[in-house]
Structure 1
Amino acid sequence: MVSIVRGPSLALGQMRRRPAAFAGLAAALFLAMAAVTLFGSLLAAALAAPASVREAADGPGLVVIAGAFGEIAVLVAFFVVVNALGFTLRQQHRELALLRTVAATPRQTRRLVRGQVVATTLLVAVPAWLAGAAAARWFLAALQERGMAAPGLRVPWSPVPMLVALVAALVVGLAATALAARRISRISPAAALTASATEHARTGVPRLLAGIGVLAGGVLLLRLAATRPPHELDKAGQAALFGSLVLLVAVALTGPFAARVLSAVLGAPVRALAPGVGWLADAHLRGYARRLSSAVVPVALLVGLSGTMSIMTSTARHSPAATTSAASATDVWLRQAELALLLCFAAVSTLNTLVAVTAERRREFALLRLVGATRSQLLRMLTAEAVLTTAVGVLLGATVAAAAGAAFSTAATGSALPSVPMAACWWTLAGAAALTVPAILVTGLFAVRGPAAESAGGGRD
């Protein structure tokens, strides 16, 4: 069976048989490629115009805006891609393990996964290019309307931003694939099949060390933001926002450990309020810390980024160092536009992850039904889990936002106490809950359908 995974037929067959497993990855790749095309097209518009046209507008200029705006957005977009790719592979873990047991080599397994990533990237490339180019024209028109871009600038037709978007998506996707597929392709076939139904109890030492290193990097970025002088608020804001993203990456790396600790603390009131399903929900979350971490990280991303942007905007408005001219209003509009784009990426990541995490528990739910649990009890348990997941994610994200906001406030006002917009914070909490709880419950409704005996014996779907 040397040629069992040779050619693209098996990779495409997997995608046709289980399109839902690749929907999240396709959405993430679409957003990432559209974002790169968007900001690449803006840079092309600025570079293709004569110098007299580029300098005909007030403000920092289109190159600076596109660069500062795009660097964070593109990083978040590819963070979402890596997260989605991990779940696409996780949903195929059992199939990949079975291929290993029937003589597929590690190299053939990796080739299969690479083929799936390349096929998904090519599938969404054209729609992503069109969406990115249209968004670039809309964004340039909005900048021109506010006097932040010269009226004579136009987005040229150029294949370069599109090719850069395609190459960047392929490089990130294939690099993430190499890391994600490494474990199943290196262990023995029997161990791979066993691992497809179990979870490691501990976070590996290399991952913890990497998390600590990234955490230190985030702290250094926040220190850099805090030491900026008041007349460099834009640089302080970019450093604080980038620092918050780095801290969220550290949360993703150390997530299982942090999620286990926080769920143990926050699970106590849930167990007290609902002794039956609350205890079961808390036990599941603590017993499957890696799965909990996977669900918590996108919620923390959503809360952390939106909280950081809201706090920085409110602090800048109340800072004596901030101007009260029309330029200040345009800065606020830019931050709001950036926040909207980041929230779009974070929302896609949250929905993709929560749906994937809940859907893969179909066999677990079936086993619980076989030992006497009813569908209504399982849904109440999922409700308690959704509440705990939201609480842990919100707490982690709020901690990151508070740290970033304090750093920016130190630069803007000299005080580490930022101006916190309570209304915006409540909307952020409501948005996180509105994404998390319905996503888990609706997916759970589909996961508990059908005969329990059939679902329990069928593996993960």
Structure 2
Amino acid sequence: MTTGLARTSLRSRPAAAAGVFSALVLSATVITACTAVLFSATAGPRSRQGDELALMGVGFTLVAVYLSVFVTGQVTALAVAQRQRETALLRTVGADPWQIRRMVATEALLTAVPALPVGYGLGVLLARWWFGAMADQGLVPEGVRLTVGPLPALVAAGVLTVTSLLGGLSAAQRAARSRPSVALGEAAGPAGGVTVVRVLLAFGALAGAVALSSAVAAGPADRAAERVPLLLLLYLVAVGLAGPVLGRVGCTLLAVPFRLFGAPGVLAVANSRARARRLSAAITPVTLVVAFILAKLGTTAGRAAPSWTDLFATALYAGFAGLAAANTLVMLILERRREIALLRLVGAGAGQLLRMVLLEGVIVSGTSLVLGAAVATAALAPLGGTGGATAPSGLPGEVLAGLAGAVALLVLLSSVLPSVRLLTARPATAATA
């Protein structure tokens, strides 16, 4: 029975299922490539260059696993939260909390199992290209060969399974534990507020980042740059946990100027504030893109020629997070087919709705740019200008403008294109779908 319900649930929401599948494939691809390089470096003959390659592989793998955990958990949780109405109805017709949890766990496995071989195959291709490029740059010691065995697949399978299960179960926990009537009432309105536990965890991550920053600043200057990625991760964990609160703050600050755009501006602020918890699933990866790029630019600004590894790391992490953000934004827009259809039925024109979506994209991109810049500034603060490090505010204006434009383009395209698709459907049909 549980498997049948899970399959039916996946078929009933193809957009959400496709979004989760894409995120899992993306995670499996990056994890497979990074772990393949790591295991290949450690399997080769010992040498100073080989140890440096292995150390680089460890760093890439740890960051890739972190990003995968964050992205997969958030996307899976978002997909489950989008089905809150169906979950509440199941509770009203007799489904117990354990059945709800088993259904969510089964859905996670049904999505992760086919995503793993696809991601593994793409990861092998990425690893081969990456390893070949490093060999061309002279970064691979003699005698070291790329070997992609079952270990990268096992690592990817573990990360995908655990994070998708935890993300889905955490999102289903509220509906599973609520009384049926309460669950149905919650499904009829916007998502609830941020839990106390989530706020405490956010403060804990922030406190850890501040403590580590102080320790790095007091330590050897030549080792400070090595701690920047860890500082970034800690600050980004805090941002991810506090995302709904930060999203509402951004909406509040933009409420007055957005009134100048009339009804679309008012609707954009109201929608973003009411859906701040789900919108934070898009704000967090975009913030990650901005923070990683600004931090990498800040640490390499003083170098005459940044190394190939620096450029590849920035492209890998930014590309990963950017694709995850685009995937999440598409899921969020397609979820609103009934809302947009109802607005069209009461007289809203296609142009007004597109302007509303565009302004919502401005909220996401603007909030992400501010948060990303703040995270990068905090992560680079312990360097204190050593080694040519430069704070984001000290980077060239054209670089900052280019990054802001790229982020805005990513967000707006990921929001507008699926909105156009929704606007081509008949309102009466979409409102009852």
CA distance in 2, matches of 1:395, 1:113: 35
- Aligned with residue 249 of structure 1, among 219, 226, 237: 237
Per-residue displacement from partner, 1:111-137 (whole Å, max 9, x unpaired)? 111111112111011122222223223
Q: 1:178 to 1:283 in 2, by over 3 A?
A: closer
What's 1:114 paired with? 105
Query: Once the two structures are aligned, what percentage of the paired residues are identical?
Result: 34
What's 2:340 paired with? 365
SS class of match (1:149): coil
Is 1:450 aligned with 2:415? no
What's 1:261 paired with? 249
Tell me which amino acid in the other structure corresponds to 2:312.
Answer: A
Following TM superposition, by how much is the alpha carbon of 1:297 offset from its aligned partner in structure 2, in angstroms?
2.2
Following TM superposition, by how much is the alpha carbon of 1:361 offset from its aligned partner in structure 2, in angstroms?
1.9
Following TM superposition, by how much is the alpha carbon of 1:92 offset from its aligned partner in structure 2, in angstroms?
2.0
SS class of match (2:307): helix
Tell me which amino acid in the other structure corresponds to 1:432.
Answer: V
- Aligned with residue 43 of structure 1, among 29, 38, 41: 38
Q: 1:110 to 1:373 in 2, by over 3 A?
A: same
Contact 1:409/1:418 (CA < 8 Å) preserved in 2? no
Following TM superposition, by how much is the alpha carbon of 1:280 offset from its aligned partner in structure 2, in angstroms?
2.7
Contact 1:366/1:453 (CA < 8 Å) preserved in 2? yes
Per-residue displacement from partner, 1:302-347 (whole Å, max 9, x unpaired)? 21222222222214x2xxxxxx7xxxx5x63211111111112211
- Aligned with residue 64 of structure 2, among 70, 73, 80: 73
Following TM superposition, by how much is the alpha carbon of 1:413 offset from its aligned partner in structure 2, in angstroms?
5.5
Is 1:276 aligned with 2:263? yes
Q: Which runs of 5+ in 2 are unaligned?
A: none
Q: 1:179 to 1:291 in 2, by over 3 A?
A: closer
Tell me which amino acid in the other structure corresponds to 1:104.
Answer: A
What's 2:374 paired with? 399
Which of structure 1's runs of 4+ aligned residues deviate more than 4 A? 413-419
Tell me which amino acid in the other structure corresponds to 2:265.
Answer: G
Following TM superposition, by how much is the alpha carbon of 1:275 offset from its aligned partner in structure 2, in angstroms?
3.0
Listed as ranges, the matches of 1:182-221 within 5 Å are: 182-200=173-191, 202-221=193-212
SS class of match (1:109): helix
Is 1:389 aligned with 2:364? yes
Tell me which amino acid in the other structure corresponds to 1:63.
Answer: A
Per-residue displacement from partner, 1:267-312 (whole Å, max 9, x unpaired)? 322223x233222322332343324433322322221222222222
Q: 1:428 to 1:283 in 2, by over 3 A?
A: same
Contact 2:21/2:112 (CA < 8 Å) preserved in 1? yes
Contact 1:27/1:348 (CA < 8 Å) preserved in 2? no
Tell me which amino acid in the other structure corresponds to 1:401.
Answer: A
CA distance in 1, matches of 2:381, 2:393: 6
Q: 1:380 to 1:25 in 2, by over 3 A?
A: same
Contact 1:314/1:419 (CA < 8 Å) preserved in 2? no
What's 1:374 paired with? 349
SS class of match (1:104): coil
Q: Structure 2-normalised TM-score?
A: 0.92
CA distance in 2, matches of 1:414, 1:157: 36
SS class of match (1:196): helix
Contact 2:25/2:119 (CA < 8 Å) preserved in 1? yes
Contact 2:259/2:265 (CA < 8 Å) preserved in 1? yes
What's 1:296 paired with? 283
Following TM superposition, by how much is the alpha carbon of 1:34 offset from its aligned partner in structure 2, in angstroms?
2.2
Is 1:334 aligned with 2:348? no
CA distance in 1, matches of 2:38, 2:355: 51
Per-residue displacement from partner, 1:25-63 (whole Å, max 9, x unpaired)? 112211222222222222221232233xx44x4x85221
Q: 1:356 to 1:246 in 2, by over 3 A?
A: same
Following TM superposition, by how much is the alpha carbon of 1:11 offset from its aligned partner in structure 2, in angstroms?
1.8
CA distance in 1, matches of 2:178, 2:432: 25
CA distance in 2, matches of 1:15, 1:279: 34
Contact 1:256/1:290 (CA < 8 Å) preserved in 2? yes
Q: 1:121 to 1:258 in 2, by over 3 A?
A: same
Contact 1:310/1:424 (CA < 8 Å) preserved in 2? no
SS class of match (2:142): coil
What's 1:150 paired with? 141
CA distance in 2, matches of 1:362, 1:414: 47
- Aligned with residue 229 of structure 1, among 206, 220, 229: 220
Following TM superposition, by how much is the alpha carbon of 1:392 offset from its aligned partner in structure 2, in angstroms?
1.5
- Aligned with residue 13 of structure 1, among 8, 18, 23: 8
SS class of match (2:95): coil
- Aligned with residue 129 of structure 2, among 109, 134, 138: 138
Per-residue displacement from partner, 1:2-21 (whole Å, max 9, x unpaired)? xxx33x23322333343321
CA distance in 1, matches of 2:392, 2:157: 43
SS class of match (2:301): helix
Greater displacement, 443-452 / 159-168: 443-452
Contact 2:191/2:274 (CA < 8 Å) preserved in 1? no
**The structure with more radius of gyration:** 1
Tell me which amino acid in the other structure corresponds to 1:29.
Answer: L
Following TM superposition, by how much is the alpha carbon of 1:67 offset from its aligned partner in structure 2, in angstroms?
0.7
What's 2:300 paired with? 313
What's 1:427 paired with? 402
What's 1:320 paired with? none
Q: 1:113 to 1:207 in 2, by over 3 A?
A: same
Q: Which runs of 5+ in 1 are unaligned?
A: 318-323
Q: Structure 1-normalised TM-score?
A: 0.87
CA distance in 2, matches of 1:418, 1:437: 25
CA distance in 2, matches of 1:168, 1:34: 12
CA distance in 2, matches of 1:78, 1:275: 40
CA distance in 1, matches of 2:366, 2:35: 38
